[in-house]
Structure 1
Amino acid sequence: GSANAPFFRSSALVLLRTDCRDRRVSAACPRVSASVEAANPGELVGSAALEGTNEKVPVALPPGIAVRECARVELEDAARLRAEAYYEDSSGRYVETFKRHFVRQETDSLRTRTAVSPNGFPECVCLVAVWEGSGQVVGTLDIRPPAGSVGSTRLRRDGRYLNGVPVGVPKGSYVLNVCVSEERRGSGIGTALMREACKEARRRWGAQEMFTEVDTWNDSAYSLYSRVGFQRYSPDGTPLPAATPGARARHMLHLSLSQVATVEGAATALKE
């Protein structure tokens, strides 16, 4: 929550939403698994989703990596990966203390927020990428369901957004907190997680739209989302106002899930 915001920092590993002020996310839901083998794993190096990189975005995952929903026993692992990502560029005497604090709070928060609410839905779902040989969580993201699917909503201060989705979009889902472990960056994990999130939002909630946000300065991340199919939502290109004092301005991005070809054609677009 906002009370703990001073502990939190974003980093180059956060692929979709870079402020991550609300980190109480992840899930323990029925497991859905998807594995992808890479044709040329030795060539999967670098990712345009990371700052300062210009390498081509890989299409396939390395052999042995599975993308699926997070199990309850993996919640702490997902929280630990996020702590490492958010504090990657931090230094100082108390960084490790902040990380431990983050992991404890995030894990507890995940257990609460991923529990099924009285109306039968969790407040969010988490996907993880797992190294099947060791069980190591090497990537993670969160999906918020359409506002009408959950018992509570998050209304932005300007009154225009519910659960991160513009008011008036009843079937809009929101993806955030995408991060990949440092040693696995550039292997296609972030892209695979994002594409699986789109499929899961359609399957689980019948979502027709997907939204996310990106810092206005993060051109490399924006380039990746554009190739996958995301476009700026604001007709005039005006960035969103900062959610809190001192926060960076962001662009809201949008992908239509009702056009199956847009989602399923992501792999083709990424080859270009």
Structure 2
Amino acid sequence: MTIRRATDGDAEVIAAMLLRLAEETGDGPRFSSTAAAIRTHGFGESALFETLIAERQGNAIGMALFFRHFSTTRGQPGVYVQDLWVSPEERGGGLGAELLAAVARHARESWGAAYLALTRHGHNDAAGAFYARLGFVAQEDDVPMVLQDSGFSALASGKVSEAAA
């Protein structure tokens, strides 16, 4: 088994693994990412994220998609893992931990990351137990919130409602 940095030629494989993750977590109907979007936003000088791919005999068996993060509370740079996926056949063998370790090592060496953050799906108890075994702790006071679609467009256009002002 090897873990390597993804290239733009891996965009189709990354998209396929992300789709499997979305289906497994119940997000399949909302999943709309494409290989083209991954290629555009994940590679080149303006890349917004990086991806590590785990392979066995040339077949992708897992991935971690991550990006730089900064904590104003800690005053330190870190790394945020957006997506971690291991094929069902490989789960329980330590590959998830190896991928996270590779991300942490890369982030520490590349930009001085001092922590790793991620969010798990609330109903994924197996993932919660896995992260707890690695030493992750839930930040009960942090509640992820998302503004998207028409709400994001309105805010980005400066159309802030009277109630929000």
State the TM bucket, normalised to the shorter chain.
0.7 to 0.9
Q: What's the counterpart of residue 151 of structure 2?
A: none
TM-score (norm 1): 0.47
Task: Give the equivalent residue in structure 2 for 1:79.
Answer: 15
> RMSD in angstroms over aligned alpha carbons?
2.8
Q: Is 1:238 matched with 2:144?
A: no
Q: CA contact under 8 A between 1:114 and 1:125: conserved in structure 2?
A: yes
Question: What secondary structure sits across from 1:186 in the alignment?
Answer: coil
Amino acid at match of 2:90: R
Aligned match for 1:167, one of 56, 60, 72: 72
- Residue correspondence of structure 1 range 93-172 to structure 2 within 5 A: 102=32, 105-117=33-45, 122-131=47-56, 133=57, 135-146=58-69, 166-168=71-73, 169-172=75-78
| Cα distance in 1 between the residues matched to 2:87 and 2:37 | 21
Q: C-alpha separation between the residues in 1 aligned to 2:114 and 2:17?
A: 30
Aligned: 1:220 with 2:126 = yes
The structure 2 residue matched to 1:185, chosen from 91, 95, 102, is 91
The unaligned stretches of length 5 or more in structure 2 are 149-165
CA contact (8 A) 2:77 2:115 kept: yes
Q: Confirm or deny: 8 A CA contact 1:66 1:129 kept in the other structure.
A: yes
Contact 2:43 2:50 (C-alpha < 8 Å) held by counterparts: no
TM-score, scaled to structure 2: 0.73
SS at match of 2:120: strand
What secondary structure does 1:138 align onto?
strand
State whether residues 141 and 193 of structure 1, in contact with CA within 8 Å, keep that contact through their aligned partners in structure 2. yes
Residues 1:187 and 1:167: Cα distance change in structure 2 (over 3 Å): same
Does residue 205 (structure 1) correspond to residue 141 (structure 2)? The answer is no
Higher relative helix content: 2
CA 239–197 in structure 1, closer or farther in 2 if over 3 Å, else same: same
- Other-structure match for 1:248: none
3-state DSSP of counterpart to 1:183: helix
Which digits, 9 at most, give the CA deviation of each residue in 1:179-216, with x for residues without a partner? 11222222221111111111111011111121111244
Q: Following the alignment from structure 1 to structure 2, what is the Cα–Cα distance between the partners of residues 109 and 72?
A: 11
Change (3 A) 1:210 1:241: closer
With over 3 angstroms needed to count, the CA separation of the structure-2 counterparts of 1:212 and 1:203, relative to structure 1, is same
Q: How many Å separate the matches in 2 of 1:215 and 1:83?
A: 15
Q: Percent identity?
A: 23
Contact 1:202–1:208 (CA<8 Å) still a contact in 2?
yes
> Residue deviations 1:224-258, cap 9 Å, x none?
2222122234xxx335154369xxxxxxxxxxxxx
